[in-house]
Structure 1
Amino acid sequence: MRMTVTCGALLSLAARLALAQPAPPPAGELTSPSSEDRAAGYCDFVRGVGGAEAALELAPELFGAFGVVNAGEASGGAGTTPLGEPTPRITAGLMYDVVGIYRGRALRQRAEADCRRQRALTVLESAIRQGNGLGEEAALEARARVLEEALPQAEALLTSLRNDMKQGQVTLEELNAVQVRLDGLRQLATSTKLARERLAARPRLLPGARLESVLNELRAADDQLEEHNGALRRARAWRLNLRGGYDRLIDVDQDLPLFGQVTLAYNLGHLWQGSANARAREGRRRATLDDVSGVPQRINELVAGLRATQRTEEGRLQEVSTLVSDLEAQLQSMDALQTREIRRFRGYVMMELARLRAEQAYLRAHVESLQSFLGAGAP
C-alpha cells in the first residue's frame, strides 16, 4: 500500500514536468520574424487552450469521501455472524488515469497543428490581399531606382536646351518636345511612389514563400489537425486508473488503513470508431478542396492569373530589352557624330531610353518575383 502512495506522488511529479516542458514545433512548420508573424496571437491562443486542457489530463486527481457503510460483527445463537452495522467511513487519496498522458500530449500536438495551419492560412490570405500586385513591390522599387538616377540627368538636359534656345540654337517646339518627355518621367516617378505606398499598407508576404508550397502546407496541417482530433476521440474509449490513499472505518480496528487499486475500462464503441474517423478525415479534406469561397480555391485562381501575367511580362521584357539595346546603339552613334542636329535629337533619345530602362527594370524584377512566388513550372 505504501508503494501505491509513492507511485502516485511520482506520477504527480512527472505530470508537472510534462506540463512545464514546452512542446517542440513540428517539422516543416512555417517560421517568420516576430514582426511579420501575423498568426502569433492565434498560436498563443490555441497553445494556451491546449495547455489548459492538457493540464487536466496530465495531472492526478485528489479525491475524498465520507459516508456510512455496513461493517462490524453481531453475536448470534450459533456464534459470531457478520450481520453488519452502520459504520462511518473516510476515504481520501490520489487517482491517475495513465491514458491521460497520451491525451495530454495529443492536445498539445493538436494545438501545434492548428497553429501551423493558421500560419499557412495567414500567408495565403496575405497573398490574396496582394492580389495582382503580388511581386510588384520589388518591381516598383527597381523602377524607382532607375528613375531616381535618370531624372537629374533629364533635368540637366532640359536646362541645357533652354540655354541653347536663348542662343537661338534650339527652337521652342524642340524644347517643348523634350519637356513633355520629362513630364512623362516625372508622372511615372509619382505614380510609382503612390503604388509603393498602397502596397506597403497591405499585408506583406513572407520572403521566399512559394504559394503552391504554402498551399500544400495548409492542406497537410489541416489533415494533421483532424488526425489529432480523431486520436483524441479514440483515446476516450480507454481508461487505466491508478487509485490509492487512505481508507478508514471508524470504530473498526485496522492494521493499515491504506488501499490501492488498478482499474482498466474499455468502451466497446471504439470498435466502430475507425471507419467513422476515416470518413470524417476524408470528408474534411474534400470539403476544403471543394469550398468555392475557400482559400485554396482563391489561391488557385490567383496563381492562374499571376502565371498569365508572368508569361505576358516575359514577352514584354524581351521586346523592351531589344528596344533598349537599339537605343543604346543609336546613342553611341550620335556621340561619334557630334553635329548640332544630332545633339538635339540625342535629347529625345535619352528621354525615351530612360523611360524604357525604367520599364525594363520593372519587368525584370516583377518576373523574378513572380518566379519566386510561383516557381518555374507550367500552370
Structure 2
Amino acid sequence: MKRAIAWGVLPCFAALHLASAQPSPSVPEGTPGPPAWCEFTRSVASAESAVLLAPEIFGSAGVVNAGDASGDTPLGTQTLRLTAGLGYNVVSAYRGVTLRRRAEAECRRYKAFSALQRVFQAGPDLGAAPALAARLSVLEAALPEGARLLESLRADLREGRATVEELNGLQLRLEQLRALAHDTAREQERLAHLPPASGQPLPALLQELHAADDEVERLTGTLRRAAAWDIRLRGGYDELIDVRQDVPLFGVLTVSYNLGGGWQAKANARARSARQQASAEEVEGFPQRVERMLQDLRTTQRLEETRLREVSVLTSDLEGQLREVQALETVKVRRFRDYLVLEVARLRAEQAWLQAHLEALRALLGNTAP
C-alpha cells in the first residue's frame, strides 16, 4: 500500500512543478515593451508566486521510539529516523496563479487609466491636431494664388486700372489668411509635444477601466476565499534505521477547511458591490470627470455639426458665384472675383477644420459619421 501511494503521489509533484515553471510568452523583437508599472506589477506577482507555485523540499533526522513485537528490535527502542522528500501545496499554487492574473488585471486598469489621463492632458486641444493639419493644407494651397492676385492688382494700380483702396483691401484679406496659416502652424508645433492618444474611444476606455477595477477586486476576493482551504501533497523517503521495512517510501494527501470560509462568500460579494458603488459616488473622482468631459465633447460635436452645415452652404454659394464671375472680364468683376477667391479659401479652411475635428471627436466618442 505504501508503495502504491508513493509512486502515485510523486508524479503529481513533478507534473505540478513543470506546469508552474512554464516560461511566459516571448515578445517579438521590435515590439514596444509594456509600461513600467505593468512590468513592476508583474515582477512583484512573479516574485510572490514563485514560492507558491514551486514544490518544497523537506528533510528531517531524529530519534524516535520504534520496534516490532515480533522482530529483533524490541518495542520502545530508540531508533534513528531519516525522512526526506517533496511537498506541494495545491491551494498555494492556486493562489500563485491568481496573483499573476490579478497583476494582469492591474496592468489593464493602469493602461486604461493612463490613456484617459493623456486625454485630460490634451484638454481643450483634444482632437485638434488633425483639424489643424487639414486647415493648414487648405491655406498653403490658397496662399500662392492669393499672392498672384495681389501682384496682378499692383500691376493694374501702376497702369491706373485699380485704386489704392482696392489694393489695400485685397492685401488685408491676404494677410489675414497668412496670419491664420502662421497661427495654425504654431498651434501644430505646440500640440506636437503632447503625448499621443491611445486611439480607443473614450467610452470604451472608461468601460475598460471599470471592468479591470472590478476584475482586480474579484480576484482579490478569490485570494481571500482560498485562504480557508489547505490541500497538501507530500511524498518521499522515510526510513527507520535498524527496523525492517518493505519500502521506505511514503505519500500523504492532507485536506483541511476553515469553517469561517462559509461566511466569506456574502462578505466578498458585498465588498465587490461596495467598491463599484464607492467609485460611482466620488464627486470629484476620475470616472466622474471623464463623464463630464464626454458630455462637453458631445455638446461640442453637436454645435460643430451645425456650424459645418452652415459653412458648407455658404461655401457652395460663393463657389457658384465665383464660377459665374470668372467668365466675365470687366475690371470691377475681376475685383469681386479676387475677393471671392480669398473668401472661398477662408471658408474652405474653416470647413476642412470642422470636418477633421468632427471626425476626431467621433473617433473619441465612438460614433460613426452621419
| Alpha-carbon distance in 2 for matches of 1:155, 1:368 | 32
Q: Which residue of 2 aligns with 1:48?
A: 43
Match of 1:28 in 2: none
1-structure distance, mates of 2:88, 2:147 = 83
**Which of 98, 105, 110 is residue 90 of structure 2 equivalent to?**
98
Aligned-partner residue type, residue 236 of structure 1: A
Equivalent in 232, 235, 242 of residue 241 of structure 1: 232
List aligned pairs for 1:96-245, cutoff 5 A.
96-207=88-199, 209-245=200-236
Alignment-derived partner of residue 13 in structure 2? 11
Aligned partner (choices 67, 70, 90) of residue 65 of structure 2:
70
Q: Tell me how far 1:99 sits from its aligned partner.
A: 2.6
Question: Is this contact kept in 2: 1:120–1:217, CA < 8 A?
Answer: yes
Q: In structure 2, what is the Cα distance between the partners aligned to 1:211 and 1:247?
A: 63
Provide the rounded CA distance (Å) in 2 between the counterparts of 1:212 and 1:97. Answer: 43
Displacement, 1:117? 1.5
The 1:303/1:337 distance shift into structure 2, 3 A limit, reads same
Distance 1:8 1:163, change over 3 A: farther
Q: 1:47 touches 1:111 (CA, 8 Å); kept in 2?
A: yes
SS at structure 2 position matched to 1:107:
helix
Q: Name the CA distance, whole Å, in 2 between partners of 1:140 and 1:34.
A: 30
CA pair 34-359 structure 1, distance change in 2 beyond 3 A: farther
Is the Cα contact below 8 Å between 1:132 and 1:306 reproduced in 2? Answer: no
User: How far is the alpha carbon of 1:57 from its aligned partner?
Assistant: 2.3
Amino acid paired to 1:326: D
Kept in 2: contact 1:132–1:302 (CA 8 A): no
Provide the rounded CA distance (Å) in 1 between the counterparts of 2:203 and 2:347: 33
Long gaps (5+) in structure 2: none
1:318 matched to 2:309: yes
1:257: how far off?
Answer: 2.5
Looking at structure 1, the residues matched to 305 and 117 of structure 2 have their Cα atoms a distance apart, in angstroms, of: 26
Partner SS, residue 337 of structure 1: coil
Shift of 1:185: 1.0
* Contact 2:235 2:249 (C-alpha < 8 Å) held by counterparts: yes
Identity of aligned residues (%): 50
Offset, 1:69: 2.6
Instruction: Name segments (4+ residues, structure 1) moved above 4 Å.
Output: none
CA–CA distance in structure 1, aligned partners of residues 249 and 87 of structure 2: 14
- 1:355 is displaced (CA, Å) by 0.9
- Return the alpha-carbon distance in structure 2 between the equivalents of residues 319 and 73 of structure 1: 105
Contact (CA 8 Å) 2:64, 2:81: kept in 1 or not? yes
The CA deviation at 1:46 is: 2.2
Write out per-residue CA displacement over residues 212-255 of structure 1, whole angstroms, 9 at most, x where no aligned residue.
Answer: 12211111111111111111111111111111112233444444
SS at match of 2:251: strand
Higher mean displacement: 316-325 or 283-292: 283-292
Is the CA contact (8 Å cut-off) linking 1:124 and 1:295 kept in structure 2? no
Of 14, 22, 39, the residue aligned with 2:24 is 22
With structure 2 as the length reference, what TM-score do the two structures score? 0.89
Secondary structure, counterpart of 2:65 in structure 1: strand
Please tell me whether residue 271 in structure 1 is matched to residue 262 in structure 2: yes
2:52 is equivalent to residue 57 of structure 1: yes
Distance 1:14 1:114 in 2: 26
The answer to whether 1:329 aligns with 2:320 is: yes
Displacement after TM superposition at 1:278 (Å): 1.0
Pairs aligned (count): 360
Q: Which moved more, 1:110-119 or 1:226-235?
A: 110-119
Read off the aligned partner of 1:174 and give its amino acid letter: E
Shift of 1:10: 4.5
TM-score with structure 1 setting the length: 0.87
Whether the 8 Å contact between 1:89 and 1:248 is mirrored in structure 2 is yes
Q: Give the CA deviation at 1:81.
A: 7.1
